[in-house]
Amino acid sequence: MSGRAQLMWDEAVTGYDFGPDHPMAPVRLELTRKLVSALGLDKELEIVAARPAGESTLRLVHREDYIDAVKAASADPGAADGAYGIGTVDDPAFAGMHEVSALIAGQSVAAAEAVWRGDAEHAVNFAGGLHHAMPGGAAGFCVYNDAALAVARLLELGVERVAYVDVDVHHGDGVQAAFWEDPRVLTISLHEHPRTLFPATGWPQETGAGAGEGAAVNVALPAGTGDAGWLRAFHAVVPELLADFRPQVLVSQHGADTHFEDPLAHLAVSLDAQRAVQLACHELAHAYADGKWLALGGGGYAVVDVVPRSWTHLVGIAAGREIAPETVIPEGWRQEVYARTRQLGPQRMTDGRWPVGYRDWSAGYDPADRLDQAVLATRRSAFPLRGLLP
Ligand SMILES: [Zn+2]
């Protein structure tokens, strides 16, 4: 059973805009929000616009000199010269960059507070999941790391165990870095192998350090991994770790760039499998985290065809009204898509691959199979550090 959920939304988050030639087009957020309404989901949850994260909150993760640099670039974008990663091809400076980045972070932080205090059982911020931002610099289209800030705020509120599960196609490097030595935060990232994709980290041997040794887990998937392999890897790693760790809150990042249509990466996952993992995260939150679940967006560059559908499923699951895979998309939304983008929107809510099957790890593995090798590398590196069998 699910209690009332919150959807974090302030129209102003669409001001997170690196410019017309940048792949992270804000229309993806706008179209997602409209699809949520078109399917009537906004009546199923509370829509909340939280305040921007203030200076003291941003400092829970970010260095003061970096925040000052973001503010300076925000006020005078022309002066950004690449220092702190700002003014680069990936992270161009733009006017108002500090304010809108702090606004997105504020949504994730407020969502975490609401879930922890019991004001909402689940909360979604699909504008968030900006997992590449580092304590001292912008990276990979990310300025402030709202995911890490939400986790840091939970720790500040006294939470002792937070699990962060990141299924974006890219490694959740910024969140991992923020809690690298912190045993209170278990970070698990499933992503395309660092050999073939940005940010070139997320090797299975990265397991944390100091008191946090064993609190970082990385699954580096071979390029080309499809639904069956992706689900097999998820279920071979995540549930067992959460069952053992017993988080008090689950924070998950649902970058939609694992999809076969995504232009920036090389996995071959369908919307049906993305939806299956969203459902699994919801179930795991109920099984091991007393239902306390904060779900975030992330990457996703097929901005018309994939992102709105993927995150609308996420909102539906959090709202306790999951959207059936074969659901026909309302014509009004498709007209909106055409008007905004001159592209034809999709007709149904998934790729028609439901139900997506996979072979469970407990049924055995094949040491010659590349996917199984990836899972084994993770289990051998990380599981013994947590007292679990590889
Ligand atoms: Zn990504």
| Percentage of the chain lying above the pLDDT 90 cut | 99
CB 54 within 8 A of CB 12: no
Q: Residue 264: its pLDDT value, please?
A: 98
Residue of 62, 122, 132, 235 with catalytic role: 132
Q: Using the mean position of ligand 1's atoms as its centre, give its distance from the Cα of residue 111 in Å.
A: 21
Spacing, Cα 197 to ligand 1 middle (Å):
10
103-130 per-position pLDDT tens digit: 999 999 999 999 999 999 999 999 999 9
Task: Say how many Å lie between the CA of residue 169 and the centre of ligand 1.
Answer: 5
Q: Report the chain's mean pLDDT, rounded to a whole number.
A: 98
Answer whether residue 382 shows pLDDT above 50: yes
Please write the tens of the pLDDT for every residue from 274-323: 999 999 999 999 999 999 999 999 999 999 999 999 999 999 999 999 99
> How far is 361 from 47, CA to CA, in rounded Å?
39
Describe the chain by its helix, strand, coil percentages, rounded to 5: 40, 15, 45
294 Cα to the center of ligand 1, angstroms: 18
How far away, in angstroms, is 119 Cα from ligand 1 center?
30
- 132 given a catalytic annotation: yes
How open is the CA angle 186-366-200, to the nearest 5 degrees?
45
Whole-number Å distance, alpha carbon 98 to ligand 1 midpoint, is: 21
Q: What's the gap in Å between 389 CA and the centre of ligand 1? A: 30
- Using alpha carbons only, give the angle 90, 172, 132 rounded to the nearest 5 degrees: 30
Helices 307-319 and 271-288: angle between axes, nearest 10 degrees: 30
CA of residue 299 to ligand 1 center, whole Å: 4
